[in-house]
Amino acid sequence: MKKLLLISGIAAMFVLAGCSTNNTQTNAVSNKTVQVTGIRKTDLNAGSENLPVVQYHAPAPIPGKVQGFKKSFVTAPPMIPHSIKGMVPIKVGKNMCLSCHMPQQAKALGIPAMPKDHFVDNFEGDKVKPKVAGSRYFCTTCHAPQAKLDPVIENKFETMKANQGL
């Protein structure tokens, strides 16, 4: 029993030490203190105020007038080929995407429509609904705006087709 109590106490000390809000670490070998930061070069606990701002060249892409990027893989959700300024945040009862991408409107506008699976409610026995399923309502959970940016970290991703010479 004493052994279990001792092990539990030591484990708790490690957990508490790991959860400290101090963002510095001391290297045991060189005894140097290092500030721990992420890619943003700021405190890891900092808010989103230090995230890079997407700057479009000249005017921002206009919905319906921009060619979308090729998908990286077959099941990847398509990227948003236009600016979403003024369209987010998406809230219950306020989704600007629906005004153009519902099947009827999209067909008339000649733009991609939401696929049928966006109307299947996975939480109610896969019932097909006349409105967008709740799990698909917040578009930017899967779909991100496309932009040509200088990457923070080099991406060497290649599709399977590229690797197989297809």
Is 119 exposed, middle or buried (CB count within 10 Å of its CB: 0-12, 13-18, 19+)?
Answer: middle
Question: Is 143 annotated in some ligand binding site?
Answer: yes
Name, in order, each residue with C-beta under 8 angstroms of 70's C-beta and a sequence gap of 6 or more: none
With tokens 């399977």, the residue in question is 160
Q: How far apart are CA 85 and CA 35, in angstroms?
A: 35
19 in a known ligand binding site:
no
Phi, psi of 24 (to 5 degrees): -120, 150
Cβ(103)–Cβ(145) below 8 Å: no
57 is in an annotated binding site: no
> Per the annotation, where are the binding residues for heme c?
82, 97, 100-101, 118, 139, 142-143
Query: Could you tell me which residues are annotated as the binding site?
Result: 82, 97, 100-101, 118, 139, 142-143
